[in-house]
Chain A
Amino acid sequence: MTPYLTVEFFYLLVGVVLALIAGRIALDEAHPKRWGSALFWGLLSVVFVFGKLLPPVVTGYLLLAMVLLAAAGQVVRSNEATSGKPERVLRAETLKNKVFWPVLLIPASAIVGSLFLGGIHFGARELVDPKQATLISIGIGALLALAVGMQVTRARMDVPVAEGSRLLQAVGWAVILPQLLAALGGIFAQAGVGPVVAGLVAQALPTQFPFVAVAAYCLGMALFTVIMGNAFAAFPVITLGIGLPLIVQLHHGNPAIMASIGMLSGYCGTLLTPMAANFNLVPALLLELPDKHAVIKAQIPIALVILAANVLLMYFCVYRF
């Protein structure tokens, strides 16, 4: 039986927010690319509202239209003004710490939700699917925060829409990049790109040495994650192609240690790649950094040191426990 509350409800809400943004742009005569931008956000809204109801091929062509609009320079931010720094400082002094209440509701809701939400059921029907509990508690947190935020600030109803629209337009077309890259990863997997990469790595190196096998596996996880943007996609491919045949079967290593440290080596790849746009590029835009690779640049030394440490850690532990 489907649970009472599913994440589809929140996708619908996202669709409504996107539709409001599209509407604002369409009504904004001063917008530099009024119709192209409104169409982009409108199409994205359609994908969120209808989701799985649309045949995948239709969604695919909608996506194609969005990509072409972005590539043609039709998706740009509006010139809408927001309040200046002096006004914000003044308001901060009136509201004082009350302004934090809504923001703190978000983690509070995440904690309560992760601990309890998954277990609630009425008769045989669950309140939420335990697998979706985290996402749903974040969604509930955002709604609670908005409700309390409206109470605390006594703002007009259109302020959150206007400010949300401004922030989202600052991220711009890059907001769909994470999903598009995930789709590319899926197509790579369907086309069988992984085994080719694993085969190349295994052939190119003298993996009869236990250390080389470990290094090839860890670096292979990082490298393939850089390509795919996702360590979860790299794990089965590289473990099947390099880890199991070489570390476990040839050199009798411990599979739990191999898998655990191998996955974490993949995460080092995630820190390095623009393909993991939701972790690296979208935050740079959200923080209004002029260099959209600034987050990756800050993460390069971090990732390389952790990766090197992982290789040594695995080499010293995987053949001994």
Chain B
Amino acid sequence: MIKLIGILVVAAGFALRFNTLLVVLAAGIATGLVAGMSFNDIMALFGKYFVENRYMTLVVVLMVPVIGLLERYGLQERAETLIRRAKAATAGRVVLLYTAVRQISVSLGINLGGHAAAVRPLIAPMAEGAARARYGELSDQTVQDIRAHAAAAENVGNFFGEDIFIAVGAILLMKGFFDALKIEVSLWAMARWGIPTALIAFGVMAWRTRELDRQIAREAGKKPESKGGGT
């Protein structure tokens, strides 16, 4: 039971709004100490795993120079201009279409998209642009809701598409786990059984993006400059 102290530290630290990095480090140190490690051992473990997981930061840092450059030259503004020409576009539909593209491509083993490479420069501005084309200026809250849903679409599309592709990390990890226990499980069976949840996830996104559009329409309906309409 005492080994769960790290979880307690994280929960208490997040609740009391201490600096997140400090909370995480403290949780690791507490857990390591109760498990009988020395302080140097714990620092070494932090160092080892930190270096092994450098890939998590790689994409963001490599993307920001080119995305920042293009944003300065009007990338987001151009994405908005283009989406205004598509009369059927709504914020929700842009987000849902991105979910579909992400799910299908990732289920074929192709990892396009990402928060830094696609959501910030293209998808969020297009979704905002579609909403502005209908309702004029948007409230800060609406803009934030649209962006949060665009980020959610990236995650949902990515997570619930990838397990259909057999060469992906998750499927290989499960195969390795069962192989070690000498339990016969086929890669194809595991990949096939990822499909129902993938379809459910898309259905849920269809519901959430419709809700988003309705909410934007409601919000805009309160304002005089509204052109009405909606989905």
Contact = CB atoms under 8 A, between A and B. Distances in A.
Interface of A: 7, 10-11, 13-14, 17-18, 47-48, 51-52, 54-64, 66-68, 70-71, 82-83, 85, 88-93, 95-97, 99-100, 102-103, 106-107, 110-111, 114-115, 134-135, 138-139, 141-143, 145-146, 149-150, 152-153, 155, 159-164, 166-168, 171, 173-188, 190-193, 196-197, 227, 231-232, 235-236, 239, 244, 248, 255-257, 259-261, 263-264, 267, 270-271, 274-275, 278-280, 282-284, 286-287, 289-291, 294-295, 297-299, 301-302, 305-306, 309-310, 313, 317
Interface string B25-58: 1011001101101001011111111111111111
Contacts of A54: 47, 51
B50 A197 contact: no
Interface of B: 1, 3-4, 6-7, 10, 14, 18-22, 24-25, 27-28, 31-32, 34-35, 37, 40, 42-79, 81-82, 105, 109-122, 124, 144-145, 147-152, 154-156, 159-160, 163, 169-170, 173-174, 177-178, 181, 183, 185-186, 189-194, 196-197, 200-201, 204-205, 207-208
A277 B197 CA distance: 24
B74 A310 contact: no
A123 B51 CA distance: 31
21 contacts: A54-B51, A56-B44, A57-B47, A88-B74, A146-B65, A149-B69, A162-B68, A168-B60, A177-B20, A179-B50, A181-B24, A183-B53, A184-B28, A187-B32, A256-B190, A263-B174, A274-B14, A295-B155, A302-B205, A306-B197, A317-B193
B69 A298 contact: no
A168 B61 contact: yes
Nearest to A199: B1
A240 to B, nearest CB: 8
Query: 3 tightest A-B contacts by CB?
Result: A163-B68, A92-B74, A60-B43
A198 to B, nearest CB: 12
Contacts, number: 416
A283 to B, nearest CB: 4
B3 A191 contact: yes
A188 B77 contact: no
A290 B148 CA distance: 11
Contacts of A301: 204, 208
Which of B21, B32, B170, B181 has the largest number of chain A CB atoms within 10 A?
B21
